[in-house]
């Protein structure tokens, strides 16, 4: 069976879904993309919970999620709800449930939606390796049915919604052993619970497939939508988008834009949450801007019916041939290069030796690059007939959306020709007022979408006029997409009521100690919920194990336990040294762009 994640691989409209109403707020259907977030304080602190909820609502948050790790926390949702409603605020409340079906049953009395994680709702994670026979697997499904049906029935009777939210980092042992740590495993984990909910004629469902790796996230959501469509027209449930642990600052915003923005441009997504390791109110303007800048462009319809050149469900880099231009090798298996315009290079020339790894590697005006409109078949035929591989890009006169244009180019162009990606075909006019957040989100979502499709050998940022910012944005987008790792990579969760230490200050301390370790990936997790699994491709992990205590990981394996928080950062750097990943900071200063 052929699976398609979109009726048109160059969609001109959002995917059509049923509407699911959450406390009076419609999600899916004809509604706009909804923006949501999560409070970060202890759920038992009623006053703080009410205040954070009201603060989020004031800045435009349309749904507020609150963790309920125990039945005691779930009972306190009654008081939180009363405080929010007594303040005249009607924002829908969502309970976030992990591990505790009884907490979910209690929470359902007080909230407008319950979020469950199918990987740990009825399972305890043991990382056990075993083979499940078909009968044993069905017995496991039967056990889940016994624990999950009461919640589905309760939610249906109360008229509240449910998000079945798979996290890449917390797949059950059953799923891991049969499907592996894969997008397919993520999707099947959710569908198991959806089938059980539908047996009770419960359909107020929303799905999510979150991961900290944008490539995994994008593949999982596309596969989810394809599987839902294959199940039948009445499986048209809305989709919630989010990158699990995006981090903070520009890096967090870029990684969120790559994962969420790519899917919004695919026409997928009805509600979003940008997960930043910052105060939650900072997430809302980013999410709203992302929903606006990544909306499907009706001009994409021009590409309807065109084939694609990449596998939408797994990442493979487009197989161009290696060429050397002005002494720089690109294409083939070479790293993806960063190109700038001559004016940008001139603005940076006086401090090139101070830029460290942020180097402009190619200058556009010096390159023998062929530019073409992907709708110009004769021009494409001429380039394809060239005897040697040639760097190709799209003319700035192209009327198509950027992602559509480059997907069409990649489909029509001989694979041997490397491709130069541009973030926009309409560079801002000199002196124009530029909002850097909008530029950052637009650039990273467009370039990130293409990089995660495996398209592109060189990137050029021309939507940001400031020379230093444009160069930094190019490199940080490559890092966020996992296309080129040139600095320390961090996976940091956004904090919630389960968090066992202050994530913002801890992340800042860890970065201050380790941000010179090029290519090392460090995961910073406030609790164990997503810890080991979400750190699958991290080198080292710093995970809250108990109040004031930290566990350290190498990959998925815990190696140091119950370290006092005051000592934990130093113990982390010791661990990095033990595994020969440590280098001393360079004595030569590197200028900040």
Check if the beta carbon of residue 251 is closer than 8 Å to that of residue 11. Answer: no
**Predicted TM-score of the model (pTM):** 0.92
**CA nearest 509: which of 560, 564, 573?**
573
pLDDT at 577: 92
Check if the beta carbon of residue 288 is closer than 8 Å to that of residue 258. Answer: no
- Give the separation between CA 156 and CA 199, rounded to whole angstroms: 12
Per-residue confidence at 488, pLDDT binned at 50, 70, 90? confident
pLDDT at 588: 45
Average pLDDT, whole number, for the chain? Answer: 90
Q: What pLDDT digit, counting tens, does each position of 220-238 carry?
A: 999 999 999 999 999 999 9
H or E stretch at 284: helix 283-293
Where would I find the beta strands (DSSP E) of 220-288?
Answer: 240-241, 271-272
Q: By three-state DSSP, how is residue 524 classified?
A: strand
Q: Is a pLDDT exceeding 90 seen at residue 56?
A: yes
**Token pair listed for 71:** 């039945």
Q: By three-state DSSP, how is residue 306 classified?
A: coil
Q: What pLDDT digit, counting tens, does each position of 426-478 carry?
A: 988 877 888 899 999 999 999 999 999 999 999 999 999 999 999 999 999 99
Per-residue confidence at 73, pLDDT binned at 50, 70, 90? very high
Q: What pLDDT digit, counting tens, does each position of 191-231 carry?
A: 999 999 999 999 999 999 998 889 999 999 999 999 999 99
- Give the separation between CA 390 and CA 383, rounded to whole angstroms: 8
Per-residue confidence at 504, pLDDT binned at 50, 70, 90? confident
Q: Which residues contact 91 (CB under 8 A, 6 or more apart)?
A: 23, 53, 56, 57, 61, 62, 63, 64, 84
For 56-114, the DSSP string reads HHHTT-SEEEEE--SHHHHHHHHHHHHHHHHTT----EEEEESS-HHHHHHHTTT-SEE
Residue 250: HSE in the Cβ half-sphere, 13 Å Cα cutoff? 19
Q: What pLDDT digit, counting tens, does each position of 175-189 carry?
A: 888 888 899 999 999
| Residue whose pair of structure tokens reads 């306190």 in the numeric block | 76
Over residues 106-122, the mean pLDDT reads 94
Check if the beta carbon of residue 244 is closer than 8 Å to that of residue 169. Answer: yes
Per-residue confidence at 1, pLDDT binned at 50, 70, 90? very low
Q: What pLDDT digit, counting tens, does each position of 285-333 carry?
A: 999 999 999 888 888 778 767 778 888 998 999 999 999 999 999 999 9
Per-residue H/E/C for 531-576: HHHHCCCCCEEEEEEECCEEEEEECCEEEEEEEEHHHHHHHHHHHH
The fraction of the chain above a pLDDT of 70, given in percent, is: 93
Over residues 122-141, the mean pLDDT reads 75
Strands 521-525 and 271-272: unpaired
| Residue whose pair of structure tokens reads 């990130």 in the numeric block | 448
| Residue whose pair of structure tokens reads 């999410």 in the numeric block | 287
**CA nearest 75: which of 110, 46, 47?**
110
């Amino acid at each position: 069976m052929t699976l398609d994640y979109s009726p048109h691989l160059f969609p001109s409209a959002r995917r059509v879904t049923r509407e699911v109403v959450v406390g009076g707020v419609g999600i899916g259907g004809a509604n706009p993309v909804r923006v949501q977030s999560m409070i970060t304080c202890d759920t038992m602190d009623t006053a703080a919970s009410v205040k954070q909820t009201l603060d989020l609502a004031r800045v435009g948050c349309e749904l507020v999620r609150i963790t309920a790790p125990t039945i005691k926390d779930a009972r306190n949702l009654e008081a939180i709800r009363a405080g929010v409603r007594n303040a005249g605020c009607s924002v829908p409340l969502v309970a976030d449930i992990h591990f505790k079906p009884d907490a979910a049953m209690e929470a359902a009395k007080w909230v407008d939606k319950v979020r469950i994680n199918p990987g740990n709702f009825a399972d305890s994670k043991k990382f056990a390796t075993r083979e499940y026979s078909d009968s044993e697997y069905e017995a496991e499904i039967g056990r889940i049915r016994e624990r999950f049906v009461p919640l589905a029935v309760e939610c249906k009777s109360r008229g509240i919604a449910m998000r079945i939210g798979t996290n890449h980092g917390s797949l059950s042992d059953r799923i891991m052993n049969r499907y592996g740590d894969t997008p397919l495993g993520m999707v099947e984990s959710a569908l198991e619970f959806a089938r059980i909910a539908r047996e009770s004629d419960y359909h107020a469902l929303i799905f999510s497939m979150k991961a900290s790796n944008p490539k995994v996230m994008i593949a999982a959501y596309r596969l989810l939508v394809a599987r839902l469509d294959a199940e039948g027209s009445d499986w048209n449930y809305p989709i919630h988008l989010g990158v699990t642990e995006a981090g903070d600052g520009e890096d967090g915003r870029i990684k969120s834009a790559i994962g969420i923005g790519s899917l919004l441009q695919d026409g997928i997504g009805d509600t979003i949450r940008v997960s930043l390791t910052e105060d939650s109110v900072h997430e809302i303007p980013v999410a709203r801007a992302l929903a606006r800048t990544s909306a499907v462009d009706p001009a994409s319809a021009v590409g309807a019916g065109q084939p694609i050149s990449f596998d939408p469900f797994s990442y493979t880099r487009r197989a161009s041939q290696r060429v050397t231009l002005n002494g720089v090798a690109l294409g083939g298996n070479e790293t993806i290069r960063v190109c700038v315009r001559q004016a940008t290079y001139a603005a940076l020339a006086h401090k090139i030796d101070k830029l460290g790894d942020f180097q402009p590697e190619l200058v556009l005006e010096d390159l023998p690059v062929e530019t073409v409109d992907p709708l110009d078949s004769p021009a494409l035929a001429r380039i394809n007939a060239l005897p040697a591989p040639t760097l190709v890009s799209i003319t700035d006169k192209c009327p198509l959306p950027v992602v559509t244009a480059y997907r069409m180019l990649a489909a029509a162009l001989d694979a041997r020709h490397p491709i130069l990606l541009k973030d926009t075909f309409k560079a801002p006019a000199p002196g124009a007022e530029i909002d850097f957040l909008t530029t950052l989100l637009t650039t990273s979502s467009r370039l990130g979408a293409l990089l995660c499709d495996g398209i592109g050998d060189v990137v050029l940022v021309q939507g940001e006029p400031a020379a230093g910012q444009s160069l930094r944005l190019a490199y940080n987008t490559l890092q966020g997409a996992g296309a080129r790792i040139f600095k320390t990579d961090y996976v940091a969760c956004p904090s919630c009521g389960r968090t066992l230490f202050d994530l913002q200050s801890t992340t800042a301390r860890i970065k201050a100690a380790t941000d010179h370790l090029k290519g090392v990936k460090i995961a910073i997790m406030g609790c164990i919920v997503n810890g080991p699994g979400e750190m699958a491709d991290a080198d080292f992990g710093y995970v809250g194990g108990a109040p004031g205590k930290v566990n350290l990981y190498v990959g998925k394996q815990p190696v140091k336990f119950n370290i006092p928080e005051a000592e934990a950062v130093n113990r982390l750097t010791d661990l990095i040294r033990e595994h020969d990943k440590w280098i001393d900071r360079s004595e030569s200063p590197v200028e900040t762009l």
